[in-house]
Amino acid sequence: MKISAVAELLGAKVVYGDDLLGNEVNSACGCDMMSDVLAYVKDQAVLLTGLCNQQVIRTAQMMDMRCIVFVRGKQPTEEMLDLAREAEIAVLTSDLRMYTACGILYTGGLRGAAKPAEEAV
C-alpha cells in the first residue's frame, strides 16, 4: 500500500512528506509505548501513535519506519518535523482514535508483521 493510500483511508493530513506519498508500506503497528516498539516491532513501515514527542521520530528512525501517523488530533512540533525531514519519514495526522485508525488500515489490507515462529501460539 502506498503512503498516499494510508492518508486517504484515514482522512489524514500530510504534515511532512508530500514527496514520500508514493512510497510503499507493507505493514503497520499502533503503539504509544516506544519501549514496546523497540522490543517487539519488526518490519513495520507505519507507526500509529498518540504519543507526540521527539522520541517517536527517533524510534521510528531506528526501526526504519517510513511513516508516522499521529492519531487523536495530535500535532507534531517543528523540532519533530525537522527530525522527520532528516530521516525522510512521512508524518501524517488524523483525528481518529488509534483503535479505529488501525481497524481501517487493517480492513484496507495493511497488516502487521507475522509473529516469529518461536512466538506463535
Which pLDDT tens digit goes with each residue over 53-74?
999 999 999 999 999 999 999 9
Q: Residues 60, 89: contact at Cβ < 8 Å?
A: yes
pLDDT of residue 111: 85
* CA-wise closest residue to 68 among 100, 84, 107, 77: 84
Q: Which residue has the cell 508514493?
A: 22
Domains and CATH numbers, the chain: 3-107 (3.40.1390.20)
Q: Give the H or E element holding residue 16.
A: strand 13-16
pLDDT of residue 51: 95
pLDDT of residue 19: 97
pLDDT of residue 41: 75
The CA R_g of the chain, rounded to the nearest whole Å, is: 13
In angstroms, the CA 60 to CA 71 distance is 15
> Phi-psi bin for 2: left (phi > 0), alpha (psi -120 to 50), beta?
beta
All residue ranges of the chain with pLDDT < 70 are 113-121
